[in-house]
Amino acid sequence: MKYYFIAGEASGDLHASNLIAEIVKQDADARLRGFGGERMERAGMQLTRHYREMAFMGFLPVLMNLRTIQKNFKTCEEDLLNFQPDVLVLVDYPGFNLRMAEFAKKHGIRVFYYISPKIWIWKKHRIKKIKAFVDEMFTILPFETDFYKGLGYEVNYVGNPVLDEVMSKPSKADFETFVKKHDLSGKPVLALLPGSRLQEIKSLLPRMLEAASAFTHCQLVVSAAPNIDRSIYDELLAGYPEACLLYNQSYEIMQQAKVAVLASGTVSLEAGILRCPQVVLYRMDGGALFYWLGKYLVKITWVSLVNLILRRMAVKELLQHQCSVKNIRAEVERLLTDEDYQRQVQRSYDELHQHLGQPGASQRAAAMMIQKLNKIS
């Protein structure tokens, strides 16, 4: 079978790479090509465009890069038609991928979607495009089955690949080994994970650093995204010589951290699986105005995956104007010092593990996709 993949950000590259690795194992004749990252390339896909050239977040960045975005669409459309795959496999990234789904269907190419667009947060109207252009949806969050069923669309729940990824990592090293390996002090680790997109890093990391710098008894460790140049971090960390920057160590950092201050996204679920106490941040330009507009437009109570899965406020979220240095500092203080609160968070993580079930999502998704493709070939 011939598979064309499109992933537009770091998390998509990660989960798509695991799926690709399983497809290669289960389909000896698999040929794979598409847009994504180096993880997908290493797993066996021929990479035609890196997600670094696609990851634009927010209204203004998208507006300023419209020419590049249009060029990406044109390149992808031409490459897709030249490759003539048996299936187009889309990974999240709905702004780009739903348009490509429409294009593929118009040209008789079957469309699978792996990791649903978060239409349960906003843009619920996208269900019309999903019904029209997506042949099979493979979901990773347990509540999505009922959500889509309520909209008259059946999905294939395969489990969460984040659980697979976390479980595949080496077990937690002892603290002394971790400190020695990275030339850190012996202080407790306060982890800062500002995301993988340039805009969110520039927005969140300065607030994280200012808030965390008050905890002088802790060692500040910043997790760097592999797609972001070191010079960006050097500029943001210039006033914080006590902070340490580590690339490709997010799991290890969270394993050792007393508390993690992190950007909303997959990393929140990773922290929950690793049982790392966390405070979740989300901020775009617009502050309180965007917050209240969001409350009106977005039909969901929480943004972090931990809270969404548990359907309650299990970890603290600080959104838009609430994402202040004062509020971040207050939540970190509580997580560091309030033992009753610490136990409450850990009980929530116990419940999270029960909801997520067993590993094997990528393996199940690959098997299901191949089976469905063989039925129509």
User: Cα(322)–Cα(295) distance, rounded to whole angstroms?
Assistant: 13
What are the φ and ψ backbone dihedral angles of 191, each rounded to 5 degrees? -90, 140
What would the two tokens of residue 289 be?
A: 């105005």
According to CATH, the superfamily of the domain at 2-159+360-376 is Glycogen Phosphorylase B; (3.40.50.2000)
Beta-carbon-side half-sphere exposure of residue 36 (alpha carbons within 13 Å): 31
Structural domain spans, the chain: 2-159+360-376, 169-356
Q: Tell me the pLDDT of the chain (377 aa) as tens digits.
A: 999 999 998 889 999 999 999 999 999 999 999 999 999 999 999 999 999 877 555 545 555 566 777 888 999 999 999 999 999 999 999 989 999 999 999 999 999 999 999 898 778 899 999 999 999 999 999 899 999 999 999 999 999 999 988 888 888 999 999 999 999 999 999 999 999 888 899 999 999 999 999 999 999 999 999 889 999 999 999 999 999 999 999 999 999 999 999 999 889 999 999 999 999 999 875 444 444 444 444 555 788 999 999 999 999 999 988 999 999 999 999 999 999 999 999 999 999 999 998 899 999 999 999 999 998 76
Give me the architecture of the 169-356 domain, per CATH.
Answer: 3-Layer(aba) Sandwich (3.40)
- 218: which residues sit within 8 A by CB, 6+ positions away? 187, 188, 189, 190, 212, 258, 336
User: Cα(149)–Cα(156) distance, rounded to whole angstroms?
Assistant: 11
Query: What are the helix (H) ranges across the chain?
Result: 10-26, 38-43, 59-64, 66-83, 94-106, 127-133, 144-150, 161-168, 175-181, 198-212, 230-236, 250-256, 266-273, 287-297, 305-310, 325-337, 339-356, 361-376
pTM above 0.85, yes or no: no
User: Cα(236)–Cα(239) distance, rounded to whole angstroms?
Assistant: 8
What would the two tokens of residue 110 be?
A: 């079957």
Count Cβ atoms within 10 A of the Cβ of residue 110 and give its class: 0-12 exposed, 13-18 middle, 19 or more buried: middle
Q: Are 2-159+360-376 and 169-356 in the same CATH fold?
A: yes
Count Cβ atoms within 10 A of the Cβ of residue 314 and give its class: 0-12 exposed, 13-18 middle, 19 or more buried: buried
